[in-house]
Amino acid sequence: MNLFKLFKKKLQIVPIDGIGDEEYHNLYQLSISVRDYITEQVKDEKTGDIPESFWWLRVCATRPAFHHLCFSYKATVYSCFIGRIVDNQIYVFAQDWENFLKETKRYGLQACLIPLKIDDNEKSVEVQPYLDANTLNPIIFKEEGLNDPLPEWELYCIGVNQVVEYLADNQATDIEYCDIPDLKPSIFFTDGEGNKSYVIVRSIPIGLEGVLYVIDEKLINKYKEQGLKGYFANVKWSNIFGNSGMFQDEQVYHHSLVHSKIELEPIEDAPKNHSSVLIDDEDIYKGVI
């Protein structure tokens, strides 16, 4: 029987309320296995190489986030949500599912549902064909080029990832990060001297440095009272677009991504170092971790 037709005809989404720490820990472990499975699927059958057009943006299920896994492939960002199939129904966690559908639409990401058949007795997991989370139709990976501009969320996310890599290479531990642009700080970590710290990341195209960026003064004071050191990372992106050699000042494309040198500066110094950065007591953020 055609599995795609079976999915389209019978499978239904069933949101379930409530998820405890143990359940999310199990989901975390499961997401790592799914990540490894997806990576193997995209490798070249002859060489075993991973295509240059494929890279991971979120590699495991952690909170806060609106999805469990996320990868970019052929200029499309696939925001992935893991569900479990039981008796032709896909069970998902209700609150996470609602946030997932809302945020993927907001940022223009491909909402991808990864249905799993899990046999608890045999300790086995079977990955079913990926589905469009909005229609439950199978996802057909498009043969796209790399000349599409990056969505706002992807540009922010890869900027955060670059800073996370920088911290990991410079003796930072206990690194936790958030890929939701409205939630600040972007990253928490412990530095090599044992100081609890955080980073606010701005990730922008070269040419947009003049756009006003406001940091909430109350946020800074809150973490200062808790003994955390605050940093600001201003990640700038540029690239040469296509074969024309034409430099794009106000947009970043997938082709030939290049980012500025990663540097952390004390959060209080950000307005002095960047004319467009302002520290203000206006409550501009929707949430604080």
Residue with tokens 């064909």: 129
- For the cut 60, the answer to whether the pLDDT of residue 137 exceeds it is yes
pLDDT, mean of residues 118-135: 81
Interval 203-230: pLDDT, tens: 988 777 788 999 999 999 999 999 999 9
Burial of 251 (0-12, 13-18, 19+ CB in 10 A): middle
Interval 40-52: pLDDT, tens: 988 988 898 998 7
Cβ(138)–Cβ(4) below 8 Å: yes
Cβ(62)–Cβ(35) below 8 Å: no
Interval 174-188: pLDDT, tens: 999 998 888 899 999
Residue with tokens 């953020």: 285
Please report the domains of the chain, with CATH numbers, ordered by start residue.
Answer: 3-132 (3.40.1350), 152-288 (3.40.1350)
Q: How far is residue 160's CA from residue 178's CA, in Å, rounded to a whole number? A: 8
Flag the least confident range among 11-20, 45-54, 55-64, 124-133. 11-20
- Estimate the crossing angle of helix 94-107 against helix 152-168, to 10 degrees: 110
Element (H, E) at 101: helix 94-107
- For the cut 80, the answer to whether the pLDDT of residue 11 exceeds it is no
